[in-house]
Amino acid sequence: MTKLDTSFGFRQVQPDERRDRIRHVFTAIAGRYDLMNDLTSFGIHRLWKRLLVKTAGTAAGQVVVDLAGGTGGVAAQMAGPDRQVLVCDPSLAMMEAGRRRSDTAHVSWLAGEGEAIPLADGSVDTLTISFGIRNVTHLEAAISEMYRVLKPGGRLLCLEFSKPHWLIRPFYDAFSFVVIPRLGAWIAQAPEAYTYLIESIRRFPDQEAMNILFLKAGFADVRYRNLGFGIACLHIGTKAS
């Protein structure tokens, strides 16, 4: 079997250097991250995240972690006074921007990377990650960490960009590689950051490859749902009881 390439094109970059590069990207765009998401997706990312939250179906008494949760938009939709909802993200700048949001009163904040989640084994009921898993340094290690912190029967819900249907792929690529970096230069004043983010999407494993990684980590009932003709994909896995 051919070994899955999870380097995302950064074959000559050492892990520490890539980690520093990603941290720099999100520090640069933290203040205008939410605005750029709205502009570059025409607001559709909000619909996809609402679907993620609805599918997660979090309940009272649960411990819920939104990994790479950034400014807390998804966490805010799952939060409430009767449950513990945490954003876990390596970017202090992104979380600081999230703390200023008016809808994150019931959200807690925890600094941590996907490859080394600072939580105990079997301590989380539901773990979500939206448009953040492609930015980890070691993809397989991060998925294994998510499995580790989940309780038996707990679920991982991963929303990420994926491989679009071939009919729309040329138009999607043109928009991604031409329009989005220009918007990044104009709105966020960080064109290099958005060039990296688009490249990370192009290099990310497709739907079936992600299924394989979930299964290798030990997840059961693994499945996915394409969104926007495959532009994004919601991957779901359950930790065996």
pLDDT recorded at residue 1 = 35
More confident residue, 232 or 6: 232
Does any domain span residue 32? yes
Q: Give the Cα-Cα-Cα angle 144, 207, 201 (nearest 5 degrees).
A: 85
More confident residue, 52 or 195: 52
pLDDT beyond 90 at 215: yes
Does any domain span residue 8? no
pLDDT digits (tens, 9 = 90+) for 141-168: 999 999 999 999 999 999 998 988 878 7
Confidence of residue 13 (pLDDT cuts 50, 70, 90): very low
Confidence of residue 96 (pLDDT cuts 50, 70, 90): very high
- The span from the CA of 157 to the CA of 210, in Å, is 12
Spatial CB neighbours of 31, under 8 Å, sequence gap ≥ 6 = 97, 188
Average pLDDT over residues 118-128: 98
Q: Write b or e for each residue in 16-55: b if 16 or more Cβ atoms lie within 10 A of its Cβ, otherwise e.
A: eebbeebbebbebbbbbbbebbebbbeeebeebbebbbee
83 and 58 Cβ atoms separated by less than 8 Å:
yes
pLDDT beyond 90 at 89: yes
pLDDT recorded at residue 233 = 96
Average pLDDT over the chain, rounded to an integer: 83
pLDDT recorded at residue 66 = 98
- The span from the CA of 56 to the CA of 201, in Å, is 24
Residue type present at position 149? V
Kindly report the CATH number assigned to the domain that includes residue 177. 3.40.50.150
pLDDT recorded at residue 210 = 96
pLDDT recorded at residue 116 = 95
Q: Domain total for the chain?
A: 1
Average pLDDT over residues 130-146: 93
Does any domain span residue 170? yes
- The span from the CA of 158 to the CA of 105, in Å, is 24
Average pLDDT over residues 101-111: 94
pLDDT recorded at residue 44 = 87
Average pLDDT over residues 127-150: 94
Confidence of residue 114 (pLDDT cuts 50, 70, 90): very high
pLDDT beyond 60 at 40: yes
pLDDT beyond 50 at 2: no
Burial of 233 (0-12, 13-18, 19+ CB in 10 A): buried
Confidence of residue 194 (pLDDT cuts 50, 70, 90): low
Which residues constitute the domain of residue 95? 15-238
